[in-house]
């Protein structure tokens, strides 16, 4: 639209045109900032819907802190709750939560690209820039194909989970409508690593139920590996491409941490009668396998973690902080960030010039980015822990567990979150928001902020260590 036509256009058209230009400008220069604003807007809408009387089972308005906390937890696919998802919220409220989980799992910018495809049959440059920042692709021409593949992959896995879980709920004596709703809700919660449970008795009755727990283990792991890994593996199976270094690092590191987490949980809880000590051996093994995965971001636990040992809490803290794969439904600093840091440490210990893995060299820019992401994550956890210690009377180990669970968007809890004062719950909500967007948008923003300077300062190494 030319300047003359813009001047003659009605005021609403001019306002919309100016808004569109502003959005395009932000998308081109700082897609991470726009992603943050859109995520905040989605959370505001979900909060408003959950604040309606129709959203609660009692028909009364939910307290603002509960509506906001639940909205943030849903859109940030965390699963921490201040009220019972199964009994406090009505069917409408649970549906709102599920929509928030789906949006958060796919990613707001990916969803925007889907809507663009549906309306105009194409993805504009702005949507390509935003979706590229969210799905971790550097080729704008591949964004359309990638978005379609992401949608197909997520729906396919969720459909399989639904078909597996539906017979189980029917076998429990539920009516078809209730069983279908529970299967749909749990399928989306599992794949998106959301951690929400719509069952009134929670997950503890299924501690020895392989039919229920195996889909959680497998579906949660697939969702936590990330869409780039899923699509790369599918492409490799079809013979279209080789496995990338990112895929190899993600799969190997995730597997090692999952196995290590399961073994550690079994070691520290095997004789704990308050958790798994009184269960049959097969049930203890299943609970330990689930623990190796749910601490990576799914947050669906069949045991009372509030009764776990301090050693288990410490190991779970570490696993939650690392999280899952990049561009996945999981949180944390990401397993590739952890892997890159380990490779850099090994290279330094050996005296190697470069950090290498699987016949490939990891660039210094990637190592710097990994250090920045890990440091930012540690800072957020530290500040959040300090604030919660100030607002509550709980001990450090309990507070640290809840803070890391919120930052890493895991949703595991020792049980203290519902009883926290409002100020502490607001802190956890902020951590969930920062954790979901911080490791995605902050890393993307840092990666894009590469200044080219004509003059470089002289090098002088300070003493380190």
Tokens of 56: 């609660």
At 357, which helix (H) or strand (E)?
Answer: strand 355-357
Contacts of 282 (CB under 8 A, 6+ apart): 208
Q: Put residue 416 in one of left, alpha, beta given phi > 0 → left and psi -120 to 50 → alpha.
A: alpha
Asked whether the predicted pLDDT for residue 446 surpasses 90, the reply is: no
d(CA 104, CA 100): 6
Summarised one tens digit per residue, pLDDT across range 145-160 is 666 777 788 889 999 9
Asked whether the predicted pLDDT for residue 421 surpasses 90, the reply is: yes
Summarised one tens digit per residue, pLDDT across range 157-178 is 999 999 999 999 999 999 999 9
What pLDDT was estimated at residue 123?
A: 41
Question: Which among 381, 220, 406 has a CA at the least distance from the CA of 301?
Answer: 220
Question: In this predicted structure, which of 55-59, 316-320, 362-366, 407-411 has the lowest mean pLDDT?
Answer: 362-366
Q: Give backbone dihedrals phi and psi of 81, rounded to 5 degrees, phi first.
A: -135, 150
Q: How far is CA 36 from the centre of its chain?
A: 15
What pLDDT was estimated at residue 439?
A: 54
Contacts of 258 (CB under 8 A, 6+ apart): 221, 292, 293, 296
Tokens of 413: 């809890």
Cβ–Cβ under 8 Å, residues 78 and 101: no
What pLDDT was estimated at residue 435?
A: 87
CA atoms within 13 A on the CB side of 242: 3
Cβ–Cβ under 8 Å, residues 243 and 286: no
The DSSP secondary structure of 391-456, one letter per residue, reads H----HHHHHHHHHHHHTT-----S-GGGS-HHHHHHHHHHHHHHHHIIIIIHHHHHH-----SS-
Between residues 299 and 442, which one has the greater pLDDT? 299
At 356, which helix (H) or strand (E)?
Answer: strand 355-357
Angle, in degrees to the nearest 10, between helices 364-391 and 335-350: 120
d(CA 115, CA 118): 5
| CA distance readout (Å), 116 to 40, 119, 156, 223 | 20, 5, 21, 24
Strand-strand pairing, 355-357 and 360-362: antiparallel
What pLDDT was estimated at residue 402?
A: 96
At 361, which helix (H) or strand (E)?
Answer: strand 360-362
Contacts of 428 (CB under 8 A, 6+ apart): 69, 80, 384, 388, 402, 403, 406, 417, 420
Asked whether the predicted pLDDT for residue 290 surpasses 70, the reply is: yes
Contacts of 215 (CB under 8 A, 6+ apart): 161, 164, 165, 190
Q: Which residue's entry shows tokens 């709750």? A: 81
Asked whether the predicted pLDDT for residue 457 surpasses 80, the reply is: no
pTM, 2 dp: 0.85
Asked whether the predicted pLDDT for residue 347 surpasses 90, the reply is: yes
d(CA 337, CA 341): 6
The DSSP secondary structure of 116-180, one letter per residue, reads HHHHHSS--HHHHHHHHHHHT-S-GGGHHHHHHHHHHHHHHHHHHHHHHHHHHHHHTT--HHHHH
What pLDDT was estimated at residue 117?
A: 41
Cβ–Cβ under 8 Å, residues 230 and 117: no
What pLDDT was estimated at residue 113?
A: 44
Tokens of 186: 């749990």
């Amino acid at each position: 639209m030319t300047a003359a036509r813009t001047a003659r256009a009605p005021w609403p058209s001019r306002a919309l045109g100016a808004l569109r230009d502003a959005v395009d400008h932000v998308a081109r220069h700082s897609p991470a900032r726009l992603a943050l604003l859109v995520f905040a807007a989605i959370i505001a809408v979900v909060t408003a819907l959950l604040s309606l009387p129709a959203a609660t089972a009692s028909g009364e308005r939910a307290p603002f802190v509960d509506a906001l906390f639940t909205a943030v937890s849903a859109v940030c696919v965390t699963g921490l709750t201040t009220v019972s998802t199964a009994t406090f919220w009505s069917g409408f409220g649970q549906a709102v939560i599920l929509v928030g989980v789906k949006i958060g799992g796919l990613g707001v910018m990916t969803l925007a690209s889907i809507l663009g495809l549906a309306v105009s049959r194409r993805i504009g440059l702005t949507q390509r820039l935003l979706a590229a920042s969210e799905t971790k692709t550097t080729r704008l021409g591949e964004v359309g194909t990638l978005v379609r593949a992401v949608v197909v992959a997520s729906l396919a896995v969720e459909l399989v989970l639904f078909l597996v879980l539906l017979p189980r709920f029917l076998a429990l004596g539920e009516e078809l409508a209730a069983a279908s709703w529970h299967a749909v809700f749990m399928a989306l919660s599992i794949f998106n690593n959301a951690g929400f449970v719509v069952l009134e008795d929670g997950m503890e009755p299924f501690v020895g139920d392989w039919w229920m727990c195996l889909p959680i283990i497998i579906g949660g792991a697939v969702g936590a590996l990330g869409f780039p890994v899923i699509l790369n593996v599918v492409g490799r199976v079809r013979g279209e491409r080789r496995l990338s270094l990112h895929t190899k690092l993600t799969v190997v590191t995730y597997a090692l941490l999952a196995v290590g987490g399961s073994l550690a949980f079994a070691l520290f809880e095997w004789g704990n009668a308050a958790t798994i000590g009184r269960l049959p051996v097969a049930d203890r093994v299943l609970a330990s396998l689930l623990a190796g995965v749910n601490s990576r971001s799914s947050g669906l636990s069949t045991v009372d973690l509030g009764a776990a040992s301090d050693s288990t809490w410490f190991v779970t803290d570490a696993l939650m902080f690392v999280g899952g794969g990049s561009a996945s439904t999981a949180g944390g600093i990401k397993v590739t960030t952890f892997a890159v840091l380990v490779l850099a440490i090994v290279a330094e210990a050996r005296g190697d010039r470069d950090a290498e893995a699987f016949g490939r060299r990891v660039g210094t820019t990637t190592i710097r980015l990994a250090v920045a992401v890990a440091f930012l994550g540690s800072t957020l956890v530290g500040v959040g822990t300090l604030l919660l210690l100030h607002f509550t009377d709980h001990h450090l180990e309990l507070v640290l567990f809840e803070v890391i669970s919120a930052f890493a968007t895991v949703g595991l809890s020792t049980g203290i979150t519902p009883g926290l004062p409002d100020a502490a719950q607001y802190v956890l909500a902020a951590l969930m928001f920062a954790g979901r967007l911080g490791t995605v948008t902050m890393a993307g923003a840092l990666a894009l902020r590469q200044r080219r300077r004509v003059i470089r300062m002289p090098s002088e190494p300070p003493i380190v260590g």
